[in-house]
Amino acid sequence: MEESPLHPFELHNYIPLSVGGIDISINKAVIIMWVVVALVAFLMLKAGSARQLVPGKLQSLGEMLVDFVRGIILDTMGKDGMRFFPLIATLFLFILFCNLIGLIPGSYTVTSQIVVTAVFACVVYGLSLVMGFLLHGAKFLGILVPPGTPGWLLPLMIPIELISQLARPISLAVRLFANMTAGHVILGVLFGLAISGGLLIGWLPFAFTIAMNGLEVGIAFIQAYIFTVLTCVYLGDAFHLHGHDDHAH
């Protein structure tokens, strides 16, 4: 029998619920999301509760995470960007812990559902649009014209920039989703090889899964980091509108 490699990503409702025709059933992904929220909240509250001048282990971890996000914002958006710190830190910690918790066998990777990553991407991109129009008014449409474009190039540049703008939320969503899905599919294929290979040759793919797990932990961090950096870049673009080029890049 041929089994789809996407079979482990299928969700089954534990408690079917429906409010006004909208399906809000409780399934594994929802439960794991609650676990992640509880875990992050508990960790950060615990780390921040008994603050000491010389930090303990947990406080050090909390300080490192917060300082890491602060560094990303200062590098990409400058000092003005710190007002977005709560949003960006929440996004980073949630995505990071979703990615990491998915690596535990028997758990579920919430970020391997494109609906989850698409909601993140749409919120981030929608926020950048709303903020851009609120701050700059109609001048925000100038984001479609890179500075220094000669007038006769405008009919060519505006469609290209429009497409690149519209591709932003799509690529943001698909990147995270595809990375998480592909990593788990590769692990699944390798474990399948290890089982079907038997003892004689099966140890080889099994040993490789250990290396792949290490890479997956790295990918979990990198993808959370990339998502955060790109969020900051998009918000910063809307915030500064061609100005402060020393912060971008």
Partner 1 sequence: MDSAAAALLGMGLAAAGFAGAGVGIGYIFGKMIEAVARQPEAEARVGKYMWIGFALVEAIALYGLVIAFIIMGLRK
Binding footprint of partner 1 on the chain (CB under 8 A) = 4, 6, 171, 174-175, 178-179, 181-182, 185, 219, 222-223, 225-226, 229
If the CB atoms of residues 49 and 171 are measured against partner 1, the closer one turns out to be 171
If the CB atoms of residues 15 and 217 are measured against partner 1, the closer one turns out to be 217
111 Cβ neighbours under 8 A, 6+ residues apart: 95, 98, 99, 102, 117, 176, 177, 180, 223
Q: What are phi and psi of 19, to 5 degrees?
A: -120, 115
Could you report how far apart the first and last alpha carbons of the chain are, in Å? 50
Give min distance, CB of 156 to partner 1, in A. Answer: 24
Amino acid in the structure at residue 198: G
If the CB atoms of residues 136 and 175 are measured against partner 1, the closer one turns out to be 175
Q: Count Cβ atoms within 10 A of the Cβ of residue 31 and give its class: 0-12 exposed, 13-18 middle, 19 or more buried.
A: middle
Give min distance, CB of 173 to partner 1, in A. Answer: 11
For residues 40 and 97, is the Cβ–Cβ distance under 8 A?
A: yes
If the CB atoms of residues 120 and 132 are measured against partner 1, the closer one turns out to be 120
If the CB atoms of residues 5 and 126 are measured against partner 1, the closer one turns out to be 5
Give min distance, CB of 218 to partner 1, in A. Answer: 9
Give min distance, CB of 174 to partner 1, in A. Answer: 6
Give min distance, CB of 70 to partner 1, in A. Answer: 15
Nearest to 10 by CA among 190, 172, 170, 188: 188
